[in-house]
Amino acid sequence: MGERISWDQYFMAQSHLLALRSTCERLKVGATIVRDKRIIAGGYNGSVSGGVHCIEEGCYVIDGHCVRTVHAEMNALLQCAKFGVATEGAEIYVTHFPCLQCCKSIIQSGITTVYYATDYRNHPYALELFKDAGVHVEKVELSYLTVDTNPLEKMKFISELFHKLEEANVEDIELKQLHEKANALFTTLD
């Protein structure tokens, strides 16, 4: 019998999958709220329901922050509020360290543990607030499997590399072998 994925890796993988639904062009974030080893809500960063998305008109940036999006953690918490699901004593798995505003909302919701995969502008006051509130914070990188959150950008980059190699007159046989290897790693390239 093979080794099973750990609960932390499983829930973090769920958050990375949720991040793939993000409509923000600057950073794709996913959050999964868990209680008693059961997923009770999930969210990703994106515009309000029915609103214009960043992928349609670009990010609406004020003071270095996109104000168009609702953060993943908030979307997950609001999903619980909308459907009457208690968050007291729950845990949250987030792809990136929560911002200061999400930190405060997480504390107010009664969540007791924050797991995050990637450091992202970790605000010292957020760490202080979590500590003062008795919220356990732990970094859990997704190591069991890889969830590619930006495959289109990588495919575009590889395509650009091939065009540069063609312009540099790399031998056709070598170029063909590289192209076959890239196609085996990705989907069809231009």
Active site residues: 73
Closest CA to 38 of 78, 87, 84: 87
Residues 6+ apart with CB under 8 A from 31: 15, 18, 42, 43, 44, 72, 73, 75, 76, 92, 93, 94, 95
- In whole angstroms, give the CA distance from residue 177 to residue 183: 10
Residues 6+ apart with CB under 8 A from 101: 71, 74
Q: What are phi and psi of 56, to 5 degrees?
A: -95, -40
**Cβ atoms of residues 74 and 97 within 8 Å:** no
Residue recorded with tokens 């200061």: 100
Q: What are phi and psi of 78, to 5 degrees?
A: -70, -30
